[in-house]
């Protein structure tokens, strides 16, 4: 069965351009603002949306995304509300893929079967669960695949050729290559090293490879997009959201439009890599 992710990456490949993958945290800082932003992302150039599942201890995330998770939880975030966001988004957009990204604890707390049923009903397309290794695939990965969801696995600079086959075994949709060793938003990726890593991964899989962690500017987005099948940007967008909150943690008037303007600039960086490749 072809998923929204499969279709989107196939379309992008036929057009000869990389994917612009955006990340925001669900309910940051509240449901209404999050939904406004979510609905605006495709028009701002996002090809795939990663929606963070708020969690109290996001250990792989840097300060910006950790803070966004805390704001979301303070604003009343729950797994149920996160899925309601997806459902509300799907009322107007049935094409843009949405991947839920985060940690296993909130899913486990809800119950895997109940979560997968609710996620597929809401219109979720895939999962990235950063703290479940391949050895635990029977826990969530295999049931998710059987439910028709893509399960996206992370590869890192320390994932060697011996480990890579295990990482890729049940991966679908795309491979998420973490361009730096460390937490999100903590350093700037080396484009040359990224290009070599992407080539190495592609020797093991036919799946698209999207690169994330540390991409903050349109120029960096352009460079990374030219070396991979997609660029993932999260911390820069989440930081833009934080900058648009007042002293009470509420969005300023026109905040979503200004955040989306910054997203559009990042999208232009990715899309200019496409234009260069098309020449």
Question: What amino acid positions are annotated as catalytic residues?
Answer: 50, 61
The C-alpha atoms of residue 170 and residue 150 are separated, in whole angstroms, by 9
Q: Which residue has the tokens 């991979």?
A: 228
User: Are the beta carbons of 209 and 202 closer than 8 angstroms?
Assistant: yes
The C-alpha atoms of residue 239 and residue 152 are separated, in whole angstroms, by 24
Taking the alpha carbons at both ends of the chain, their separation in whole angstroms is 34
- DSSP for 197-259, please give it: HHHHHHTT-SS-EEEESS--SHHHHHHHHTTSSEEEE-HHHHHHHHHTB-TTSPBPTTHHHHH
**Length of the chain in residues, anyone?**
279
DSSP state of 150: E
User: Are the beta carbons of 179 and 212 closer than 8 angstroms?
Assistant: yes
């Amino acid at each position: 069965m072809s998923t929204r992710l499969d279709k989107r990456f196939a379309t992008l490949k036929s057009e000869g351009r990389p994917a612009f993958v955006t990340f925001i945290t669900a309910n940051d800082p509240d449901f209404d603002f999050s939904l406004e932003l979510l609905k605006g992302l495709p028009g701002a150039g996002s090809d795939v949306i990663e929606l963070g599942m708020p969690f109290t201890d996001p250990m792989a995330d840097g300060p910006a995304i950790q803070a966004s998770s805390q704001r979301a939880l303070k604003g009343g975030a729950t797994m149920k509300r996160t899925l309601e966001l997806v459902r509300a988004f799907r009322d107007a957009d049935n094409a843009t893929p949405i991947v839920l990204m985060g940690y296993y604890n909130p899913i486990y707390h809800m119950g895997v079967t109940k979560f997968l049923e609710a996620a597929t009903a809401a219109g979720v397309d895939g999962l990235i669960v950063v703290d479940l290794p391949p050895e635990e695939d029977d826990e969530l990965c295999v049931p998710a695949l059987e439910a028709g969801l893509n399960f996206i696995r992370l590869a890192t600079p320390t994932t060697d050729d011996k480990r890579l086959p295990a990482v890729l075994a049940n991966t679908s949709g795309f491979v998420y290559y973490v361009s730096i060793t460390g937490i999100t938003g903590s350093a700037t990726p080396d484009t040359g090293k990224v290009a070599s890593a992407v080539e190495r991964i592609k020797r093991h899989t036919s799946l698209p490879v999207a690169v994330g962690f540390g991409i903050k500017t349109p120029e960096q987005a352009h460079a990374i997009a030219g070396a991979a099948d997609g660029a993932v940007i999260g911390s820069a967008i989440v930081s833009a959201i934080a900058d648009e909150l007042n002293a009470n943690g509420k969005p300023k008037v026109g905040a979503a439009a200004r955040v989306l303007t910054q997203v559009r600039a990042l999208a232009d960086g990715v899309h200019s890599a496409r234009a260069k490749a098309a020449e």
